[in-house]
A and B are shown apart, each in its own frame.
Chain A
Amino acid sequence: MDVVVQLQRQLADHTASLFHEGFLNEQFNQLQQLQDESNPDFVVEVVSLFFEDSERLLNELAKALEQQAVDYKKVDAHVHQLKGSSSSIGAQRVQGVCIPFRNFCEEQNNEGCLKCLQQVKHEYSLVKNKLETLFKLEQQLIAAGGSFPTL
């Protein structure tokens, strides 16, 4: 079977499942629409920024929640940032966990915050893996001589 067609199917299936399972939402479509010949790697660049930002924020969150006297304002600020960036790229599930997380911050509920931190870390690593797979499939497709139209 033609390798290109096979890869295209894989890519299509993988992408479709990301949306169906709620990992990504239409905001991600938006990013893809912004990619063009003048900026062919736009999506990868933005998603990489998201990975860097998120990892930094998750570290900061872990540190902040370990303190003897937790500064909930600081924690909330970090979660707010994470919520903003995840919503900008359409990482829906990550964004979703940020909402109860912020509520727990307001309540100064340490246990709730820690639980949310675990959850958001989990969702982040899931979406990260899936996006990395997506990009790998795209690269394989291009390498095999196939292409996908940039919008």
Chain B
Amino acid sequence: MMQGNIWISTNLLGFAQSMTLVLRFQTRPSFGRAIFAHGSSSEPNSNSQFKGLKVILADDDDLNRTVTKKLLEKLGCHVTAVSSGFECLSALSAAENSFQIVLLDLHMPEMDGFEVALRIRKLRSQNWPLIIALTASAEEHVLERCLQIGISGVIRKPVLLQGMADELRRVL
């Protein structure tokens, strides 16, 4: 009737994440881009829940780092982004910094996420930031290894807003 189209895309857990609606109207100028309607209704809550959360993000890939950083900021986090394990450890060692969460890409070239996590655990006995790993892999042994090292959570890449919010909520 309206010569339109509607479809729902779901995230990894099967929850409806966004609804796409294409309609043809004559008089509603704001509809041009409304194809990509709002995400889940829990987003506003996430913003306040994670507000001011200090996160350090380590990912060697520029593009991924940019996207993940923006995603975290959207959730209300205060993000420091670095591109290597070394930089991450330096930032954590600096006395004035106190990060609550460390987000580590497991597959960085010089020092991988596992190595960084191990060193973080050795670094500080007082300030224990929660470590969450970022990985494209879904293999069991990766998850096991994470748990053994003291990594509190794992998020699969590519990262989705809802996936990040869920995992952060879970570990906090």
- Chain A positions within 8 Å of B, measured between CB atoms, are 4-5, 7-9, 11-12, 15-16, 19, 26-27, 29-34, 36, 39, 42, 45-46, 49-50, 53, 80-81, 83-85, 87-90, 138, 141, 146-151
Contact = CB atoms under 8 A, between A and B. Distances in A.
A147 B63 contact: no
A88 B157 CA distance: 8
A151 B43 CA distance: 12
B136 A7 contact: no
B170 interface: no
Nearest to B11: A26
Contacts of A26: 9, 11, 17-18
B36 A147 contact: no
Interface stretch (B22-30, B82-90, B93-101, B118-126): B22-30
Contact of A33 (B20, B31, B36, B64): B36
Given A4-B29, A49-B63, A84-B64, A12 B22 contact: yes
B160 A30 contact: yes
B130 interface: no
A29 B18 contact: yes
Contacts of A151: 36-39
Nearest to A42: B70
Given A4-B32, A16-B5, A53-B63, 15 more contacts: A16-B35, A19-B20, A26-B11, A27-B158, A27-B160, A30-B161, A33-B38, A36-B74, A46-B67, A88-B63, A88-B64, A88-B67, A138-B33, A146-B29, A146-B32
Nearest to A27: B158
B140 interface: no
- By Cβ-Cβ distance, the 3 closest A-B pairs, closest first, are A148-B33, A8-B32, A26-B9
B71 A34 contact: yes
B67 to A, nearest CB: 5
A4 B29 CA distance: 7
28 contacts: A7-B32, A8-B29, A8-B33, A12-B32, A12-B35, A16-B22, A26-B9, A26-B11, A27-B158, A30-B158, A31-B67, A33-B38, A34-B67, A34-B70, A42-B70, A46-B63, A83-B136, A85-B64, A88-B63, A88-B157, A88-B158, A138-B33, A146-B29, A147-B30, A148-B30, A148-B33, A148-B34, A151-B37
